[in-house]
A = this chain, B = another copy of it.
Amino acid sequence: MRVHIIGTGLLGASLGLALGAKGHQVTLEDTSPTAQQLAADLGAGQVVNPTEELAEAADPTVAADATSPAAHPDIVVVATPPDVAARVIASALEDYPNATVTDVASVKTRLLEAVRELVTEPQLDRYIGCHPMAGREKSGAIAAQSDLFTARPWVICSDEQTPADRLGEVIAMAEDTGASVLHLDPRIHDAAVAKVSHVPQIVSSLVASQLRHAPLEEISLAGQGLRDVTRIAASDPGLWTQILTGNAEEVRSVLIDLRTELDEVIGALELGPGSTGLLAKAIALGNEGHDRIPGKHGQPPTTYAVVTILVPDTPGMLARLFKDIGDLGVNVEDFRMDHASGRKLGMVDVSVVPAIQQELEIGLLSKGWQIPESAIEKEGTA
């Protein structure tokens, strides 16, 4: 396919790398000549001069299979910042009258409304809104990765009006990036990302914000819990302002629910009658919501057994550990290195299916690893 990408930031450049690797003809366009050239230099696609290309596209004497792919793209992907996406989509529908036009913006309802205001009905059928659920804390083409979309959900918001062949093109392109296609109504998508992405972002930022003026001796008590809750607080304010503005209504509605529960907790902390029950309820409702989050690979939540191994922080030790685990024939479902404070030691939590936990622990102990797991220590000393 001939794919023309408008906007060569993290998502646009990553898409170009992914599709180029699959043999598609990718052309690039960006309002910033530097950003455009950088993405091309990184191998994300071929830079075109939009003016020349559009002149060619408008010229009926130039055949549709002209050597310049940007003149007649099969798909135009709008990967600009969200606040200009509607305008760029409308222009693309006009400039490329045969192409399917899609986008990668993380909010869909408001964008679709904005596009509807700019574009009339028959044109609109060629627009299919998308949201690949991929990103990094870094931004720009320099952070692009050809596998950014691999194994990530790629949401497609088509409707009954969408022609099947155009939908098929977008699905094929999304699948060629390695993503898993998911069809959702724009409103359901926006409600979902408010809960699973936008509200967690705001709350993570608010928790981190409380540390701004804390003395360093207080912050030195930070543990893995705080690090996990605030990891995404490092995200880009400019991009997030656009995302939150675009999904303001849904995000506000979830935040208001959250504030009601927060007010209950604040009230309970005055320690009046019934406060114990209210505090316990707040944590228990969190348990309930937490249990609904799907496990790895989109499967239903699974409780894995966690084996914690003490690993000296020297080169080669992780290699030895994972070689030993591999030699035992054990498949690792997940792992995490815990940050140690004050000394050069790591604790590695390895998640495995519960049935092989004991086998793994016995195997690693016999290879000299320290596993402070009492259940097996007991067997070893009994």
Partner of A192, one of B143, B188, B214: B214
The interface residues of chain B lying within 8 Å CB-to-CB of A276 are 241, 245
- The digit string for A62-99, where 1 denotes a CB below 8 A from any CB of B, is 00000000000000000000000000000000000000
Question: A33 to B377, alpha carbons, bound, how many Å?
Answer: 22
Q: Pick the most buried of A197, A275, A285: most chain B CB atoms within 10 A of its CB.
A: A285
Q: Are A237 and B283 in contact (CB under 8 A)?
A: yes
A253 nearest in chain B by CB position: B269
**Cross-chain contact A298 with B342 (CB below 8 angstroms):** yes
Q: Which listed residue, B151, B315, B374, touches A345 by the CB 8 Å rule?
A: B151
Q: Are B310 and A319 in contact (CB under 8 A)?
A: no
CA distance A262 to B209 in the complex (A): 11
Binary interface encoding of chain A residues 171-202 relative to chain B, with 1 for a CB under 8 A from any of its CBs, else 0? 00000001010101000110111011101111
Contact of A252 among B145, B201, B270 (CB under 8 A): B270
Closest to A239 in B: B283
CB contact under 8 A between A375 and B142, given known A269-B251, A297-B342: yes
What residues of B have a CB within 8 angstroms of the CB of A118 in the complex? Answer: none
Residues on B with beta carbons closer than 8 Å to the beta carbon of A215: 188
- 10 A–B pairs (Cβ distance < 8 Å), ordered by A: A43-B378, A151-B343, A152-B340, A203-B207, A203-B229, A234-B290, A241-B276, A256-B266, A258-B262, A322-B323
For the complex, what is the distance from the CA of A332 to the CA of B233, rounded to whole Å?
Answer: 24
The answer on a CB contact under 8 Å between B282 and A209 is yes
Chain B residues positioned under 8 Å from A322 (CB to CB): 318-319, 321-323
Contacts of A256 in B (CB 8 A): 266
Is A294's CB within 8 Å of the partner chain B?
A: yes
Q: How many copies does the complex hold?
A: 2
In this assembly, does A230 line the interface, its C-beta being within 8 Å of a C-beta of chain B?
yes
The answer to whether A370 has its CB under 8 Å from any CB of chain B is yes
B220 touches A182 (CB 8 A): yes
Name the distance in Å between A353's Cβ and chain B's nearest Cβ: 12
| Closest Cβ neighbor of A282 among chain B residues | B205
Residues of B within 8 A of A270 (CB): 248, 252
A169 within 8 A of B: no
- A294/B219 in contact, CB under 8 A: yes
A72 to chain B, nearest CB (A): 26
Is there a chain B Cβ closer than 8 Å to A287's Cβ? yes
Q: Of B184, B336, B377, which contacts A42 at CB under 8 A?
A: B377
